[in-house]
Every structure is written in structure tokens, then in C-alpha cells.
Amino acid sequence: MGFLSRKKKNLPPAEPERFERESVDHGLVDRSPAVAEETHPIVEELEQMEQAVPERRFDRDSYEEESYVEDEHDFEEEPAEHDEPERAVNAGHEDEQDEPEEEEDDGRVKAVDLIAPTRLDFIKREEEPEPDETAHAEVIAFANQKGGVAKTTTTLNLAVAFAESGYRVLCIDLDPQGNLTMSQGIDPDKVEKSLYDVLVNDVPISEIIVKREIDIAVASIDLAGAEIAMSTKIGRERSLEKALKEVIADYDFVCIDTPPSLGLLTINALTAANKVIVPVQCEYLSMRGLVQLQNTLRMIQENLNPDVRIEGILPTMLDTRTIHAKEAVEILEENFGDLVFRSRIRKAIKFAEAPVKGSSVLKYDSGSSAANYYRELAKEVLANGSA
């Protein structure tokens, strides 16, 4: 059925007088209503027109590619419901029409103008990009198999700096020592469930998240047994990655503190992460382990997580008064170039004091230089494109 046929079907029976009056105005119709019912000349004329005009259907997918000039008559002739008879008649007398508005660019009737607003919404919705199912939080692992290099201190204070900037942050304490958990005033010996239950018994991670300055998935001492308990599990390297899926959409950043080893817990962190921050104490011996960490990361990239990258190497506990510390930073920069953050975390007693109060340095002494070191680091990470 063509567009004119649709019009015939929609002729408004409740308004025969109007139909006649308008038709008579154009001198096209006999005044007898009885004749108009079956052999109305207008109907004949419409049928002739329909045969003369090739049927065209509006194809939403291709309407942008087709010329509007070519289409505009078709669409122009599509009448509003109540103007049908008049506009149908006019369609047969285009010569007598005033010059249509479509000659002017702005007033031109376009296909989209003739679509009901609700349909336009539908089309717009279809043209909008699909929601990105893969969009999720930046997952940053803080790793260095050397102990005491400020992994936990950096995880917490950088996480709180992100939260200060308005980001939703989850910290994960993947270290059986439970230092991160303790640094937020939670006793790891008293938690009912911990990451052990998540990694070994598949307890939902949401059940072990506690709200403090940031949200924290807590550790307990039995996490020390997790590596052995997981060792026979299929997909043991991906247990954390799998558990995170439940909450990943709720956060902008997930910050994972790891133990001072390259065992299964750290491998779980590196497999779940897309970025790694490596805190390095500014001492020569602290840097020797970086090659081993790089090798482990390469193994993870090749076998488990091709997307994981080193976000940066962070010089920590920097004592600018000593030549040794300065030289250590120079050695770092010579070997790792741009991978070394420009931010420096200097030595400050506040970093030792804050965990005793169960808080980050940013909360413990918000205006201190120590707090600002991590605010600067947060800015640098954000400037690098995170979140």
C-alpha cells in the first residue's frame, strides 16, 4: 500500500461536510453526497496519483544518505491527520501552490520534522552509543616484594586523596599482616569474615567491606593460609578479579595493598589490576628487587592479564638531606625514565603516627606537608589519565 492509500483509509467519516466543502472550493467535486460515497472523483484522482507517483517508504536506516531534495515531496505530502482531504487534493495541484517553504534552507521540511517526537526520541536513543559494559573502576595494585617500602602507607593515603577529590574508592587489604585494616582502626583479629572467605570460600566481597574514610575490604590473620587453601582451586589466580566484579561498578578506584612477596596473593592483585604503582624506598638496596618485580609482571601480562601496566615507580621515605637518597633517585630515573613519578614522598614522622590513630595522614593532619605529598601524587595519577 502506498502513502495515498493510507490516506484513503484514514478519511475522517465524521466530517463529510468538511470533505465536501474543501473539495468544492477547488471545483473538483460534484455536490451530491450520495455520489461522493462510492464514485467520488477525488477518490479516482487520488488513485490515479498513486499510480503515477512511485511508492516510497521511509527507511530510517538510510534516510541520512538519501537526498532530502529527492525525498521532500514525499514527506511533504504526508498530511497531518485532520488536514488529510485538503492536503491530498493540493497534492494534485502543485502548480497552483504557493512556492513551498522548502526552498529556504531554514524552513525546509525535513523527514525528521515529520516524525512524531516520540519516534525521534527512539531514533536518538538508537543512535546513542551502547553503554560500555567494560567501563569500570581503575584497579591499582601497590606492589613491591620488598618489605617496609610504604606500600600500605601509599595505598591508604593515595586512596583517601582520591576520595577527597570526590572519587568513590575501595581499598583491598590483601596482606595477612592486616596493616591497612589496622590503619583504619579495625582490628584484624576481630573481623568475622575477611578476604580469606572471599578468595577461598567465594563469599561475596560486599559482605566484608567496611566503611571508614574509604571503603575497605578487610584482612585477617587467616589470610596467611589463603595461598595454600587456594592452591588447588581452579582459576586460583583470578579469584580476586572474579570477586571484584560484584562491586566494580560502584567505584572509581580500587586500591589493592599487597604483601611483601610475589606469591599467589600478589599474583591475584596483579591479575585483577590494570595499573601497578611500585613504591620504592630511596635506598640502593631497595631498588635491586625491581627487576624481579618486572619479570613477574611480564609473566602476568603474558599469561593472565595482558592489560596490566606499571603506572609509576614512586620514590618514598625520601630524606633530601642525604646524598645517598638523591643518588638513589637519580639511579631510578636513569633506569626507568618517565616511569618514575615526579611526585616525591619525603620522610615525615606523621606517617608513623597516623596509623596509631586509625586514620590516614590526610585526616590526621590535613594541612601537613605529609598530607600534601599524597595529594600531589593523586593529581599526577589523575593527570596521567586515570578515571
Ligand X SMILES: Nc1ncnc2c1ncn2[C@@H]1O[C@H](COP(=O)(O)OP(=O)(O)OP(=O)(O)O)[C@@H](O)[C@H]1O
Phi-psi region of 235 (alpha: psi -120 to 50; beta: other; left: phi over 0): left
* Strand-pair category, 215-217 with 169-173: parallel
Binding string, residues 313-332; x marks residues near ligand X by CB under 6 A: ---xx---------------
29 binds ligand X (CB under 6 A): no
* Strand-pair category, 215-217 with 209-211: antiparallel
Q: Which three cell numbers stand for residue 156?
A: 591508604
How far apart are CB 152 and ligand X at their closest, in Å? 3
Q: Which of 144, 179, 239, 360 binds Mg ion (CB under 5 A)?
A: 179
Stretch that binds Mg ion, among 160-168, 179-187, 246-254, 289-297 (CB under 5 A): 179-187
146 binds Mg ion (CB under 5 A): no
Residue 382: phi, psi to the nearest 5?
-65, -40
The number of residues that bind Mg ion (CB under 5 A) is 3
Q: Could you tell me which residues come within 8 angstroms of residue 14 by beta carbon, excluding any fewer than 6 positions away?
A: none
The number of residues that bind ligand X (CB under 6 A) is 18
363 binds ligand X (CB under 6 A): no
Footprint on residues 241-260 left by ligand X (CB under 6 A): 260
How far apart are CB 335 and ligand X at their closest, in Å? 20
First to last CA, the chain: 54
Footprint on residues 338-357 left by ligand X (CB under 6 A): 345, 347-348, 351-352
Q: Which of 23, 179, 184, 343 binds ligand X (CB under 6 A)?
A: 179
Burial of 15 (0-12, 13-18, 19+ CB in 10 A): middle
DSSP-derived secondary structure for 280-340: EESSHHHHTTHHHHHHHHHHHHHHT-TT-EEEEEEEESB-TT-HHHHHHHHHHHHHHGGGB
Q: Which of 42, 139, 140, 149 binds ligand X (CB under 6 A)?
A: 149
148 binds ligand X (CB under 6 A): yes
Q: Which of 151, 212, 236, 375 binds ligand X (CB under 6 A)?
A: 151
221 binds ligand X (CB under 6 A): no
Name the residue nearer to Mg ion (CB basis): 79 or 355: 355
Beta bridge partners of 310: 276
Binding partner of 345, given ligand X, Mg ion, none, CB within 5-8 angstroms per partner class:
ligand X
Q: Which of 152, 154, 266, 281 binds Mg ion (CB under 5 A)?
A: 152
Q: Could you tell me which residues come within 8 angstroms of residue 155 by beta carbon, excluding any fewer than 6 positions away?
A: 142, 171, 180, 255, 256, 257
Name the residue nearer to Mg ion (CB basis): 7 or 151: 151
- Give me the residues that bind ligand X (CB under 6 A), please: 147-153, 175, 177, 179, 260, 316-317, 345, 347-348, 351-352
